[in-house]
Amino acid sequence: MENPIPKMAFTFIETKPEEQIYEICIALKDVCGAVARTTKVLSDANVDIRTSTLFKAAGSNEVGYWTSFVDVSRATKSIKEIESALCGLEVVREVKIVKPEPLAYDVIHFPVMHGDSPAIIMPIELFGSLFEEIEKILTPSGFAAVFYNAGKKSGAFIADFIAKKYGLKDKQLLSALVQSTKAIGWGQIENLKIDLDRPLCKVRIRRCFEAMVKSAEERGCHWTRGFIAGFLSRVTSKPMEAVELKNSDNNDGTREFEVKPAT
């Protein structure tokens, strides 16, 4: 499997002291060339586009938002002049420019959305601290049982949601599992194949998020194996269980699980 290209969430960028970072949000008409015309305004003013994102406005098929972090430290025009030039474009509906301080966080957009659902973005280290605090309350066996069962319910919920919303089942639903876990950063599932008539398989996950947190070597990835079991229970229409087989020995967060019908 090819190594994936890391994706930066559009929430924050690291800056240098000499940079002058602004966040620019432009409401654009949904017409060909709209983004090209706006970027030309910035390019002509010697504005450095550090990173950007483009998405449709909620509830509208005619307007989209193009938002960028830009560095204007070497710009040949002032912020007001740049704003005026952007507002003068026929494809532009509205322009909002903010200087995010004290840090270069996205201060314009809220809430964060995953498809039609509100979402949150959490660094892996935060999950690590959460797990550690729960471990202090539960015994090792209690921790394993709680997180495994929570994972199973989560996996079944996501499978049901995808199946109902997009009309997927069987192998297509299985492919959606591989796509979704990679897209949201939970891990990269490799070579997942299962015979729906005789559901027994091994699942290998690279950079499993649960394996990347502190103490995962000793604790095991109980939530992840539960999630896999819950999801595959819906794919196969049979109660499934998952057992963690092998821990990574090269610190890349790789985990392997065996999934089979529950006895």
Give the pLDDT score at 149.
Answer: 97
Give the pLDDT score at 139.
Answer: 87
Element (H, E) at 110: none
Other beta carbons within 10 Å of 218: 9
Contacts of 216 (CB under 8 A, 6+ apart): 210, 253
- The domains of the chain, with CATH numbers, are 21-118 (3.30.70.260), 124-261 (3.30.1380.20)
Give the pLDDT score at 76.
Answer: 98
Cα gap 168→174, rounded to integer Å: 9
Give the pLDDT score at 248.
Answer: 54
Give the pLDDT score at 75.
Answer: 98
Give the pLDDT score at 214.
Answer: 57
Give the pLDDT score at 200.
Answer: 87
- With both helix axes pointing from N to C terminus, report the angle between 140-166 and 124-137 in degrees, rounded to the nearest 10: 130
- 3-class DSSP state of 255: strand
In tens digits, the chain (263 residues) has pLDDT values of 567 788 888 999 999 999 999 999 999 999 999 999 999 999 999 999 999 999 988 777 789 999 999 999 999 999 999 999 999 999 999 999 999 999 999 999 999 998 888 999 988 888 888 888 888 898 888 989 999 999 999 999 999 999 999 999 998 999 999 999 999 999 999 878 888 878 888 999 999 999 888 565 567 899 999 999 999 999 999 999 999 987 655 567 889 999 999 98
Please tell me the pTM assigned to this model: 0.86
Element (H, E) at 234: helix 222-236
